[in-house]
Amino acid sequence: MGLFKRTGAKPKTSSNGPSPRKTGPAPGQPGSGDPASAPPDPGPSPPTSSRRPREKPLRGSLDSNISAAFVVVKDKVQQELIEDLDQNPTTLDLENGRTLIEPIFARAVTAAGLVLSRTERQKLFEMVVAEILGYGPIQPLLNDDSVSEIMVNGPQKVYAERGGRLVLTDVRFQDNHHVMRVVERILAPLGRRVDESSPMVDARLPDGSRVNVIIPPLAIDGPTVTIRKFSKRPLAVEDLIRFGSFTEEFAQFIKACVVSRLNILVSGGTGSGKTTMLNVLSSFIPGDERIVTIEDSAELQLRQEHVVRLETRPPNIEGKGAITIRDLVINSLRMRPDRIVVGECRGGEALDMLQAMNTGHDGSMSTLHSNSPRDTLSRLETMVLMAGMDLPLRAIRQQIASAIDMVVHVERLRDGSRRVIYCTEVLHMEGETILTQDIFHFVEEGFQEGRIVGQLRPTGIRPKVLERMKPDQVELPPHLFGGLGTSRP
């Protein structure tokens, strides 16, 4: 039985289906149009039946998403809600909204003459609720805990990341306008906008999930939306140990580094888990300290009580009023912070962050994009130069060597897993070079059942920062670093 069938209605020909007079034999037979099998003179096509082809039943599942019946029912329900409530139904909360929508939905289905099974009716109801109160066709993906990222490449292609791998979903939008309605619903609570004059925007969902939107004319194939979801429960250090991201020995060492107020950078590529790692590191900060977080779009999930969250602001429609990360870093120095946590360094704010680290704001943390710990320091030099200060390279490197204590480098491996690859200590300047030493590094042992087998292992080098941990009465066992170990002079 078709899902949406009008009582007493005659079957229709699908608008996308072939015309009956063009129906011919199967490929590979004479007259099929297949060049490999057609004879030199195929002649006229055999006569076709005068009966029109049967229409495929419209599916009301969340896989096909859009149907004529869905649009009719949704519009009717939405219109009645507006008339009854005298307000926009999207302002309703989910529970109250479902209660109000249910009787109106029942009337709309009856008025439309649809014959539905219980399962089909429930699926159509969920679609209507998602369209009116949620984020439309992508709402099921947002509700799915196994999905970590959602990518809308125009109305007809929606990808999702599951278990570190991208898959094409069956989710579809009606058209570009349908995508834009969902985008506007995301941006409205934040007071942000996206249009032809400002076709790119960063935003977030109420749960902190990061959203990036880029629209035509920059996005050629239609509005493109990328949503990086965050777990409803912030991942703890025990979770990452269980996932194999790092070991208990590394967790014990890096916790000691945070408690002892060492300055730490988390580096890695896109989607490698830098923000997750920063969340885990920040969970080690003692609860009696004042923490100021600075981000482009608020996504850090700190669990301490005394946290001040700052977020940048894009320019208004006149191109004025923008507040950058650099502005917020400078302002945060006047807020008496014990720790400054910068979501990501991308430009000139790196200089102000280094200045803060070198002027008494120890224990600060940030992330940046790079391919290795050595690249992290090189990129930091470049970003300091982007501040517009005409500083000699040696002076910049001295600032970096003095400010940064540890670099934790994470990567997304080819099997989709995210691992800590290096934990590197920044030592001091020697000549024109910043000296570093690896304390832990990931050793790949093989590939089994589609997964990389390996472990984060100590290098046997005893870090020099252990001396700085003694005043905080933090002691680590020597075997943590692979035996007695040695310390670099």
Q: Are 459 and 441 in contact (CB under 8 A)?
A: yes
Q: Residue 16's pLDDT is what? A: 45
Nearest to 227 by CA among 187, 173, 176: 187
Tell me the per-residue pLDDT of 323-335, one tens digit each, with 9 for 90 and over.
Answer: 999 999 999 999 9
CA–CA distance, 450 with 272 (Å, rounded to integer): 19
For strands 433-448 and 451-458, give the pairing: antiparallel
Number of helices and strands (H, E) in the chain? 13, 15
Q: Rounded to two decimals, what is the model's pTM?
A: 0.72
Spatial CB neighbours of 203, under 8 Å, sequence gap ≥ 6: 186, 187, 190, 192, 211, 212, 213, 297
Give the residues of the chain that fall short of pLDDT 50: 1-66, 484-489
Packing angle, helices 118-133 and 94-112, rounded to 10: 130
CA–CA distance, 409 with 157 (Å, rounded to integer): 33
Q: Residue 76's pLDDT is what? A: 73
Terminal-to-terminal C-alpha distance of the chain: 79
Q: Residue 125's pLDDT is what? A: 81
Q: Residue 309's pLDDT is what? A: 93
Written as six digits, the tokens of 299 are 């996504």
Q: What is the DSSP string of 222-265?
A: S-EEEEE---SSPPPHHHHHHHTSS-HHHHHHHHHHHHTT--EE
Spatial CB neighbours of 258, under 8 Å, sequence gap ≥ 6: 264, 281, 282, 284, 285, 363, 365
Long-range CB contacts (within 8 A, 24+) of 468-474: 468/260, 468/262, 469/256, 469/260, 472/259, 472/260, 472/261, 474/256, 474/259, 474/260
Nearest to 272 by CA among 404, 142, 165, 369: 369
Q: Residue 483's pLDDT is what? A: 54
CA–CA distance, 109 with 123 (Å, rounded to integer): 13
CA–CA distance, 168 with 414 (Å, rounded to integer): 19
Query: How open is the CA angle 313-214-145, to the nearest 5 degrees?
Result: 90
Spatial CB neighbours of 146, under 8 Å, sequence gap ≥ 6: 162, 163
